[in-house]
Structure 1
Amino acid sequence: MPRASRRRGNAARRHADTVRFVLFEAPPAGLEFHRLARASALSPHQVRSGLAALKDEATSKGWPPLICNRADGYQLGTEPAALEAYARQVVSEKLTQFRRFITGTVSPHAAAHPNDKRIRHIVAQLNSIESTLDLIASARPNPPGGGRTASPSGPRAHVWRLLSSCAGAAIPPTPPTPNGR
């Protein structure tokens, strides 16, 4: 991934526009990286720079988000199901990286200093983050109609029951502040 300063440069923005134009011409199939480079007539480095800049600019300019999967390659996603699948894929990848960080770096450090209060606090916080990412990655997608599914059974059934009970709870309105807001 190019540095932030290079993603914001004029060249990166030009490459992002070229990549976006090529991807607009490619729907709904998407393009693999080497085909994207060939279709845009950019070098692989320029395509990577353009993709990074495009990811940064897409939200601020109201463009459809850039998604990538192994089956279809790079594409501009507009379908909610494709966006949700991409988000789950990214969360799953980050969860794997995070678990490797915990087991490879943090756990040996914690084992070397078991009585350090700061290390215990860091381990507790990282375990909390890991469980949250795991919950997001293992959650079932919403059905196409957007309605709720039947409550699941299995090891995560209690989490689903808790989340569904919280979703239906009424949240009391907050009282107005002295300035009326």
Structure 2
Amino acid sequence: MAMAMAKGLVASIYPSIGELTDNSDIVFWCTKPKDLKTAVTSDMPLRSDIVYVSIAAGISLTQIYSWIGEDSNEPETKIIQMMPNTPCLVGQGAAGFITSENISEAEVELFKRLMKSSFPVLERMKTIKELDATTGVAGSCPAYIFMVAEAIAEAGVKQGLTWDQSLRLTVQTIKGAAMLLEQSHEHPAVAKVRYEHAHSIF
């Protein structure tokens, strides 16, 4: 199965982590938070010429460095901590990331180029506090939007629409509203007033 997936993705398969890292500039640790320590320590010894990227929520760079026995203030291993969101599955992700101090701008640009097709918005944060804030703004936000969509669609059904009709109208309206906001560069409060007046919503 792995071979079939690799062929479809124009990817390569390596029999060991060691051979994988020998042929990589960037390695992604794509695990659940509870499994990250195992993934990190199974990679050891980590290499100083590779950038490692963690997408595990809630696991800081300081924690990762403690697992590999390095000082996070003077690290040898280059690590990026990233907070992605699920719309990346359709090429519309938004994410924040923070880097260890020893990563070069060229390496950051390589990382951003790799992520561009899945994350049109990719913001570099300066502090872990800023990165944590992206969890609410981007990481968890799709669930909030889904809750809003569910409520609107159910309201449409109560007014006599079929579920499919109501959901299609709701989804397109959310997409359209997002595009209006993006292209107008207006503050959301301004856009809200403009359109609530246009449609007599009080």
TM-score, reference length from structure 1:
0.26
Q: Pick 1 or 2: higher relative contact order, CA cutoff 8 A, min separation 6.
A: 1
Which has the larger share of helix? 1
